[in-house]
Amino acid sequence: MSAKPASLSKISLTGQHLLKSIESENPLPLGFLSEKAQQGPRESIQVNDPDELRACILATVDLLKHRLLETAAAVCRRHNSLLPVQRLPPEILSTCFGHAMTEIDSHNRQQRLIQLSNVSSWWHRVTLGAPSLWGVIHSKDPDWIVVLALERSKDATLAVTWYTASYKGNLRGGESYSIGAEDFFKLVSPHTNRWRDATLPKLGSGSTSID
């Protein structure tokens, strides 16, 4: 259901509140207004320098936009915190994530996990607090994902898969990516003590798994 537009009175009230907050944190520079303007009502404000007024207005608009974005984000966080799934203990939520990941191809798993971690700040903390979720390392992932997974998996065991075929695919709107054997093994070889299993190609067709 789409949200109803706010009434003009609510918009005006919100604007006044934000502007007062901005003014309290960002006082006008000394000499910006004439003494008469500073003492009189707002309608009688006189400007010494129009360019300075324009700069001040633009800065205030930028601050107002930033404050509105902060307010909108806070409303979203409050709304998300009231959802039933947000009240699950972190260990149960991370288990749910783990079951969901098993239904995804291994070379897409980290990309989907990154998407899950960006849903909300709570999901981000839960995914970062479960290193085992990041333990699937695949050569079809771009190098930055391999590096991120190795970092976030911390001391968890790893399942490493290497494909000999050069692979190019689409990521983030068509970006082409691939990772070579030398670059891949340069990244994963320092972590061999954590390898739980490794799937490597045979000299001929097919592949072999080393447990």
Percent of the chain clearing pLDDT 70 (strictly above): 64
Q: Residues 36-55: what's their mean pLDDT?
A: 56
Give pLDDT, residue 128.
93
User: pLDDT for 27-36, tens place per residue?
Assistant: 554 444 444 4
- Mean pLDDT of the residues in the chain: 74
What b/e readout covers 67-83, taking b as 16+ CB neighbours within 10 angstroms? Answer: beeeeeeeeeeeeeeee
Q: Residues 3-9: what's their mean pLDDT?
A: 50
- pLDDT grade, residue 154 (50/70/90)? very high
User: Cα(181)–Cα(167) distance, rounded to whole angstroms?
Assistant: 11
Give pLDDT, residue 40.
46
The length of the chain, given as a count of residues? 211
From 105, 25, 17, 99, select the one nearest 59 (Cα to Cα): 25
User: Cα(49)–Cα(33) distance, rounded to whole angstroms?
Assistant: 9
Q: What are the distances in angstroms from CA 34 to CA 66, 96, 109, 157?
A: 29, 64, 63, 69
Tell me, what amino acid is at 113? L
User: pLDDT for 108-132, tens place per residue?
Assistant: 889 899 999 988 888 899 999 999 9
- pLDDT grade, residue 49 (50/70/90)? low
